[in-house]
């Protein structure tokens, strides 16, 4: 797998995680260029179809990043995402897609460093897994 | 007709320009579908940049605009205004964030160029499907309902009352003023409570824009921000508030005597009563539960005694429908019941009092006319003040009620002022003295009286019992040693809890209860402390959490301010345009979305078997759209198509 660079789609909520990603930028913290960000108002908007579509369109990994539980701008949208996430992981494994290719995490607006760490870990893990066979 | 997209790539000085190959980016963008114009510019957010975009929109008939620049958090609003000025709907814009999330974080120039291309590609594909969104306006009621006539509620009502705006001030008790009306003095100024309260109450009573509804409770709330319909029941008072002057002639002849709850049960009142001397409005009320007429007897002693013919036995409870645009809940607090913690001896040891009981005891209109005496009438020589009862321990409440240290110091002052030579024992494990006045207050009070501070190991390392006619206090001191002292009187500072009926209120108003015991949950404890998850319903004062008078007043005024800024008489209410909408033809009526909505914005029409989303209540999170199994819910500005196009744009090359 040497030389393989995965493509990763990240669904980031507008209020916490997207702000966290911006914070990493403002602090000029470098992280792998593999991540492509898609902003949604709430992680609750992430329809499982979007994730399947991302895999179909060429993503090797997908991340959903939302507000920490209890901090959701819309009260509980992130908790709906959490529920869907566990179901979706099971669906993915029946499709032969490794569970690690989908990751859910919580990033607050102040957690630029955590954002960089999560993106770096995800990229490294996707490098290990190699391209998603299609 | 194909869209005509203009793409502007901001150099952001050297910030973006030096991080990537902009020429390559521009060449790539020029080749994208629907793109008719691509320009790189030094600083788009500058006046010249904005003018350029406006000019181009008109000259090149652009129908969509993509700005590849900094984060949308920085300038999305700026560029939306720019489109609007040029006659284009502001939502036909997409920002491609190639600064915070590309130029500043990708150090390799070639990788940054590729990433920027993908980000702009996604924006171009997405923006082609953007729909113009209108900021809709609805007519609204400028009137407001305030529930609870304590400090917070009164402050809100007075701030709200103005020409063309009526305020309904609903209070379940027969009098207004809340808990503060029962206090003699307030901390830290030690001003007399009625001196600060009475002029305010007078203002409320005579304000032509405020209608006070005493003995009134809310039954039901329908509708939404701008248009609430509130059903209230006003219980019969059986005394005409217009003609009664509060002379008290009726009280003397009434044959029924019951415990006076307005003096915390420390004395008695009649079945017709005025809660306490000075209660406002100064009008009697008949307590139906105890009055003989409702026990089947033919008593009319009060009617015979009344010189003004004010007694109206024929009164009935009245249901009223109030139309208001916004609501402030200021339902206050109740104290933790110290009988739940037997170690404090409350209810068993004779001279153990709660703080509210002591407030009445020391009050000149209270059961002893303000004389601090024991139940046997003797003057105490030793008084113990016990902090943190039911607070700050795992057993009952974890939180600190924030005001107890201060009012216990006030009690120390009141005791010292009245009883020279009295000794005061302060049982505490920590003192809470924050802010600009508290420490100074502590220093002042500590010096003026004979106070002995007894530092306990834990907030609840204490046991109060009666032994040989004495009140015995055993406690573990901060060093872990067991100690014991006696005292004549004990005053407990029980934790503040949300009002006893806060749970029922939360259900009626459809809001949540949050941290602490019974308090209403704020929308955000840091930046939205007086709003709730339900738009248009605000909370203020101790209903939101323990606080002192000045904070309660501040919250009441803050809640009023939030309402004043949006519910302007004669003006319409602007609605958030990024909301969700249901396609009735596609909705199968499964109602999955109904339970997911945090704002109760989705209702089901059982006849048509489909749901509808209330645009006033919807905040546009899109959680419902993600869950809809039939794809019937459209999350505006984040539609399935828009997101899909963005995904493709991010992943496909060109």
The closest alpha carbon to B525, from B539, B511, B510, belongs to B539
Q: Per-residue pLDDT tens for B270-289?
A: 999 999 988 999 999 999 99
Q: How far apart are the C-alpha atoms of B218 and B511, rounded to whole Å? A: 14
Q: Is residue B425 part of a domain?
A: yes
Residue A1's pLDDT is 45
Find out whether A106 and A67 touch, Cβ atoms under 8 Å.
Answer: yes
Q: Is the confidence at residue B561, as pLDDT, over 60?
A: yes
Q: What is the dihedral of CA B37, B43, B44, B47, to 10 degrees?
A: -130
Task: Indicate whether B516 and B557 sit together in one domain.
Answer: yes
Smallest Cβ–Cβ distance between B100 and the set A22, A44, A58 belongs to A22
Kindly state whether B638 is in contact with chain A, defined as any CB-CB distance less than 8 angstroms: yes
Task: Indicate whether B414 and B472 sit together in one domain.
Answer: yes
Kindly state whether B133 is in contact with chain A, defined as any CB-CB distance less than 8 angstroms: no
Using a CB-CB cut-off of 8 Å, the residues of chain B touching A40 are 622, 638, 643
Q: Is residue A84 part of a domain?
A: yes
Question: Could you say which residues from 522 to 561 on chain B have a Cβ atom under 8 Å away from some Cβ of chain A?
Answer: 533
Question: Could you say which residues from 378 to 397 on chain B have a Cβ atom under 8 Å away from some Cβ of chain A?
Answer: none
Residue A39's pLDDT is 98
Q: How far apart are the C-alpha atoms of B380 and B365, rounded to whole Å? A: 20
Average pLDDT, chain A: 95
Task: Indicate whether B408 and B273 sit together in one domain.
Answer: no
Q: What DSSP element (H or E) covers B651?
A: helix B640-651
Q: Is residue B504 part of a domain?
A: no
Q: Is residue B430 part of a domain?
A: yes
* Domain count along chain B: 5
Among residues B81, B105, B133, the one where a domain terminates is: B133
Q: Is residue B500 part of a domain?
A: no
Task: Indicate whether B171 and B91 sit together in one domain.
Answer: no
Using a CB-CB cut-off of 8 Å, the residues of chain B touching A48 are 626
Q: Per-residue pLDDT tens for B313-344?
A: 999 999 999 999 999 999 999 999 999 999 99
Kindly state whether A33 is in contact with chain B, defined as any CB-CB distance less than 8 angstroms: yes
Question: Could you say which residues from 584 to 613 on chain B have a Cβ atom under 8 Å away from some Cβ of chain A?
Answer: 596, 598-599
Smallest Cβ–Cβ distance between A31 and the set B97, B105, B621 belongs to B105
Q: Is residue B590 part of a domain?
A: yes
Average pLDDT over residues B620-649: 97
Using a CB-CB cut-off of 8 Å, the residues of chain B touching A42 are 621-623
Task: Indicate whether B122 and B161 sit together in one domain.
Answer: no
Q: Which domain holds residue B173?
A: 144-235+317-332+509-566
How large a percentage of chain B has pLDDT more than 70? 100
Residue B628: burial class (beta carbons within 10 Å; 0-12, 13-18, 19+): buried
Among residues B108, B133, B158, the one where a domain terminates is: B133
Q: How far apart are the C-alpha atoms of B48 and B26, rounded to whole Å? A: 20
Q: Is the confidence at residue B488, as pLDDT, over 90?
A: yes
Q: Is the confidence at residue B61, as pLDDT, over 80?
A: yes
Average pLDDT over residues B337-357: 97
Q: Is residue A101 part of a domain?
A: yes
Smallest Cβ–Cβ distance between B635 and the set A45, A48, A74 belongs to A45
The domain that holds B199 is classified in CATH as: 3.50.50.60
The domain that holds B82 is classified in CATH as: 3.40.50
Task: Indicate whether B414 and B550 sit together in one domain.
Answer: no
- C-alpha distances in Å from residue B502, one per residue of B401, B525, B542, B554: 17, 19, 11, 21
Q: Is residue B376 part of a domain?
A: yes
Task: Indicate whether B341 and B328 sit together in one domain.
Answer: no
Distance from CA of A36 to the nearest CA of B (A): 6
Residue B654 pLDDT level (bands cut at 50, 70, 90): low
Residue where the block lists tokens 């409702």: B294
The closest alpha carbon to B112, from B22, B35, B13, B28, belongs to B22
Task: Indicate whether B175 and B323 sit together in one domain.
Answer: yes
Residue B470 pLDDT level (bands cut at 50, 70, 90): confident
The domain that holds A43 is classified in CATH as: 3.40.50
Residue B277's pLDDT is 87
Cα end-to-end distance, chain B, whole Å: 21
Among residues B102, B133, B164, the one where a domain terminates is: B133
Q: Per-residue pLDDT tens for B502-554?
A: 999 999 998 889 888 899 999 888 999 999 988 899 999 999 999 999 999 99
The shares of helix, strand and coil residues in chain A, as percent rounded to the nearest 5, are 45, 15, 35
Find out whether B8 and B39 touch, Cβ atoms under 8 Å.
Answer: yes
Which residues is B452 bridged to in the sheet?
Answer: B425
Task: Indicate whether B361 and B490 sit together in one domain.
Answer: yes
Q: Which domain holds residue A85?
A: 8-129
- C-alpha distances in Å from residue B376, one per residue of B262, B350, B352, B379, B509: 21, 9, 13, 9, 46
Q: Is the confidence at residue B172, as pLDDT, over 90?
A: yes
CB-CB neighbours of B625 under 10 Å: 26
Q: Is the confidence at residue A84, as pLDDT, over 50?
A: yes
Q: Using the beta-carbon criterion (under 8 Å), do B643 and A50 form an inter-chain contact?
A: yes
Q: Is residue B476 part of a domain?
A: yes
Q: How far apart are the C-alpha atoms of B179 and B502, rounded to whole Å? A: 16
Polymer length in residues for chain B: 654
Task: Indicate whether B342 and B325 sit together in one domain.
Answer: no
Q: Is residue A134 part of a domain?
A: no
Strand pairing report for B382-389 and B489-494: parallel
Residue B394's pLDDT is 77
Distance from CA of A109 to the nearest CA of B (A): 12
Task: Indicate whether B178 and B129 sit together in one domain.
Answer: no
Using a CB-CB cut-off of 8 Å, the residues of chain A touching B107 are 30
Q: Is residue A2 part of a domain?
A: no
Q: Which is it for the CA torsion B507, B508, B514, B518, positive or negative?
A: negative
Average pLDDT over residues A118-128: 98
DSSP letter for B132, please: -
Q: Per-residue pLDDT tens for B112-134?
A: 999 999 999 999 999 999 999 99
Find out whether B205 and B280 touch, Cβ atoms under 8 Å.
Answer: yes
DSSP letter for B165, please: B
Q: Is the confidence at residue B467, as pLDDT, over 90?
A: no
Whether ipTM exceeds 0.85: yes
Task: Indicate whether B463 and B377 sit together in one domain.
Answer: yes
* Domain count along chain A: 1
Nearest CA in chain A to B74: A22
The phi-psi region of residue B541 (left if phi > 0; otherwise alpha if psi is between -120 and 50; otherwise beta) is left
Average pLDDT, chain B: 95
Residue B266's pLDDT is 92
């Amino acid at each position: 797998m040497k030389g393989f660079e995965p493509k990763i789609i990240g669904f980031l909520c507008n209020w916490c995680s997207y702000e966290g990603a911006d914070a990493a930028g403002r602090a000029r913290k470098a992280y792998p260029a593999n991540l492509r960000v898609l902003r949604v108002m709430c992680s609750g908007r992430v329809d499982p179809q979007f994730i399947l579509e991302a895999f179909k369109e060429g993503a090797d990994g997908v991340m959903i990043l939302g507000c920490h539980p209890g901090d959701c701008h819309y009260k509980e949208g992130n908790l709906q995402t959490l529920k869907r996430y566990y179901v979706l992981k099971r669906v993915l494994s029946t499709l032969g897609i490794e569970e690690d290719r989908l990751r859910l995490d919580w990033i607050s607006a102040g957690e630029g460093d955590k954002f960089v760490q999560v993106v770096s870990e995800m990229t490294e893990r996707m490098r290990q897994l190699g391209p998603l066979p299609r | 007709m194909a869209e005509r997209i203009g793409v502007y790539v901001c150099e952001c000085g050297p910030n973006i320009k030096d991080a990537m190959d902009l020429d390559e980016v521009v060449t790539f963008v020029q080749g994208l579908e629907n793109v008719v114009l691509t320009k790189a510019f030094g600083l788009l957010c500058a006046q010249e940049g904005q003018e350029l975009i406006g000019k181009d929109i008109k000259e090149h008939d652009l129908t969509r605009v993509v700005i590849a620049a900094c984060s949308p958090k920085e300038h999305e609003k700026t560029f939306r205004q720019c489109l609007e000025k040029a006659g284009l709907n502001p939502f036909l814009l997409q920002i491609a964030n190639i600064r915070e999330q590309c130029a500043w974080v990708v150090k390799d120039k070639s990788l940054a160029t590729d990433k920027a291309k993908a980000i702009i590609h996604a924006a171009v594909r997405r923006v082609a499907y953007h729909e113009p969104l209108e900021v809709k306006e609805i007519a609204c009621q400028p009137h407001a309902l305030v529930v609870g006539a304590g400090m917070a509620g009164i402050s809100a009502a007075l701030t709200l009352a103005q020409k063309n705006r009526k305020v309904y001030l609903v209070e379940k008790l027969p009098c207004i003023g809340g808990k503060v009306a029962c206090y003699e003095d307030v901390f830290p100024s030690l001003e007399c409570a009625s001196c600060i309260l009475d002029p305010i109450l007078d203002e409320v009573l005579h304000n032509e824009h405020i209608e006070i509804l005493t003995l009134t409770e809310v039954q039901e709330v329908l509708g939404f921000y701008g248009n609430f319909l509130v059903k209230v029941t006003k219980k019969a008072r059986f005394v005409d508030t217009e003609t009664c002057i509060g002379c008290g002639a009726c009280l003397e002849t009434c044959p029924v005597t019951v415990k006076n709850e307005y003096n915390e049960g420390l004395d008695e009142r009649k079945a017709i009563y005025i809660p306490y001397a000075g209660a406002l409005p100064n009008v009697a009320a008949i307590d139906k539960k105890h009055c003989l007429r409702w026990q089947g007897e033919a008593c009319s002693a009060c009617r015979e005694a009344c010189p003004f013919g004010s007694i109206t036995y024929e009164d009935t409870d009245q249901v009223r429908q109030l139309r208001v645009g916004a609501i402030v809940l200021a339902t206050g607090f109740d104290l933790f019941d110290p009988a739940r913690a037997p170690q404090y001896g409350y209810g068993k040891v004779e001279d153990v009092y709660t703080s509210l009981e002591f407030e009445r005891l020391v009050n000149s209109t209270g059961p002893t006319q303000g004389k601090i005496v024991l139940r046997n009438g003797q003057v105490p020589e030793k008084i113990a003040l016990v902090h943190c009862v039911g607070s700050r321990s795992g057993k009952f409440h974890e939180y600190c009620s924030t005001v107890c240290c201060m009012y216990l110091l006030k009690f120390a002052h009141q005791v010292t002022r009245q009883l020279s030579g009295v000794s005061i024992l302060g049982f505490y494990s920590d003192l809470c003295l924050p802010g600009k006045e508290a420490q100074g207050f502590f220093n002042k009070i500590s010096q003026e009286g004979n106070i002995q501070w007894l530092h306990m190991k834990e907030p609840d390392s204490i046991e109060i019992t009666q032994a040989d006619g004495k009140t015995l206090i055993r406690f573990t001191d901060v060093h872990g040693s067991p100690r014991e002292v006696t005292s004549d009187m004990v005053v407990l500072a029980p934790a503040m809890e949300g009002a006893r009926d806060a749970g029922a209120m939360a259900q009626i108003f459809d809001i949540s209860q949050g941290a602490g015991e019974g308090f209403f949950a704020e929308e955000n404890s840091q930046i939205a402390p007086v709003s709730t998850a339900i738009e248009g319903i605000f909370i203020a004062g101790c209903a939101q959490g323990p606080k002192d008078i000045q904070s309660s007043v501040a919250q009441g005024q803050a809640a009023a301010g939030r309402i004043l800024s949006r519910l302007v008489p004669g003006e319409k209410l602007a609605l958030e345009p990024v909301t969700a909408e249901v396609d009735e033809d596609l909705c199968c009526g499964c109602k999955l979305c109904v339970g997911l909505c945090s704002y109760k914005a989705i209702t089901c029409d059982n006849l048509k078997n489909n749901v509808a989303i209330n645009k006033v209540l919807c905040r546009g999170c899109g959680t419902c759209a993600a869950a809809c199994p039939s794809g019937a819910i459209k999350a505006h500005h984040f539609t399935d198509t828009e997101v899909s196009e963005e995904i493709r744009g991010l992943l496909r090359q060109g």
